[in-house]
């Protein structure tokens, strides 16, 4: 054996032993960190509890919003108070003392000395590479006394949020509650721009759903201008795609369309009336508890598919 061979042999033996050890150690560290992170998430949600969709509870929430909170817009002092009551109800319902989410409050567009907030909550409490957003308008058109369409969306979102607690997903699901989705055109534009900025800061949005009226029976309808969106790929059997302008939230400049024009992958998700109906008629109808519960179940299934739900905990 040459001197060079004798010199290099100890190093070869060290490498033979060290490489497998390093792989074992690094793999073990990775597993420890993985389980530590899962435990951290469980601890963060220790006050949260999952609850299946309950028709009575959902109907009670809807009734509180449409009757007790009432009109929610910027045109009158009473309706401005309604916006603030609605924001407080959202924060309380989703928060750590109730469903269990951490709710982040952000200032919206100021109207004089009045500002209604945006409220953000996410299921996984961490960023993922790809994310699903549910935008829930909580204001109402100034022409309607109750704002039942958005009241149904908010109530359904509560039931869906509670059903998602503690689940394991490949993609995070974020809930963003916004005012001014039913406001005048300029206010809607300004709010859409703010929502676009919030989504851009968080990053990773591959599907953004704006929740519309959940008052009606039948299949979910998606107003979309891009047939390639994940919604239509992952939930084609649950959702009917439509470009029908009659289902818009507020005529021209419907909120999801404004977001789409700002390069946000947005679609409007709603239940269309089975027969032609004016906004006033919709605002005075009495939706059945079973209808609202079915709407919540349908939205939950759509989000579950988009988020890539896994049975693994």
pLDDT at 111: 83
Name the nearest CA neighbour of 313 among 163, 162, 168, 169.
168
Cα separation, 192 vs 197, in Å, equals: 9
The top-level CATH class assigned to 50-310 is alpha beta
Q: Which two tokens stand for residue 162?
A: 């509670």
Question: How far out from the chain centre does Cα 269 lie?
Answer: 12
pLDDT tens sequence across 186-241: 999 999 999 999 999 998 999 999 999 999 999 999 998 888 899 999 999 999 98
The answer, as to whether pTM is greater than 0.85, is no
Query: Residue 264: which pLDDT band, with cuts at 50, 70 and 90?
Result: very high
Report which secondary-structure segment, H or E, holds 260.
Answer: helix 255-261
Query: Which CA distances in Å does 118 have to 198, 218, 295, 306?
Result: 10, 30, 24, 24
Distance between CA 220 and CA 279 in Å, rounded? 19
């Amino acid at each position: 054996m040459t001197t060079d061979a004798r010199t290099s042999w100890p190093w070869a033996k060290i490498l033979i032993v060290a490489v497998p050890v390093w792989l074992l150690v690094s793999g073990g560290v990775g597993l420890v960190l993985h389980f530590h992170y899962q435990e951290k998430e469980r601890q963060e949600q220790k006050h949260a509890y999952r609850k299946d969709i309950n028709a009575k509870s959902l109907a009670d929430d809807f009734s509180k919003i449409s009757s007790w909170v009432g009109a929610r817009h910027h045109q009158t002092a009473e309706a401005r108070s309604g916006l603030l009551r609605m924001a407080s109800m959202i924060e309380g319902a989703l928060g750590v003392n109730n469903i269990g989410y951490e709710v982040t409050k952000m200032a919206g567009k100021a109207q004089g000395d009045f500002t209604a907030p945006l409220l953000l909550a996410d299921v996984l409490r961490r960023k993922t590479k790809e994310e699903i957003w549910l935008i829930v308008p909580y204001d109402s058109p100034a022409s309607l006394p109750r704002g039942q369409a958005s009241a149904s969306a908010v109530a359904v979102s509560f039931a869906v949020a509670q059903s998602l607690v503690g689940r394991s997903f490949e993609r995070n699901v974020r809930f963003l509650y916004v005012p001014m989705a039913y406001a005048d055109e300029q206010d809607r534009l300004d709010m859409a721009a703010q929502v676009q900025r919030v989504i851009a800061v968080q990053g990773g949005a591959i599907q953004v759903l704006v929740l519309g009226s959940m008052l009606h029976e039948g299949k979910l309808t998606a107003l979309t201008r891009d047939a390639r969106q994940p919604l239509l790929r992952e939930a084609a059997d649950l959702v009917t795609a439509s470009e029908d302008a009659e289902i818009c939230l507020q005529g021209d400049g419907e909120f999801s369309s404004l977001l789409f024009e700002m390069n946000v992958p947005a679609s409007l998700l709603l239940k269309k009336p089975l027969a032609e109906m004016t906004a006033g008629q919709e605002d005075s109808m009495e939706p059945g508890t079973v209808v609202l519960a079915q709407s919540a179940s349908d939205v939950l299934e759509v989000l579950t598919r988009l988020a890539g739900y896994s049975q693994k905990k």
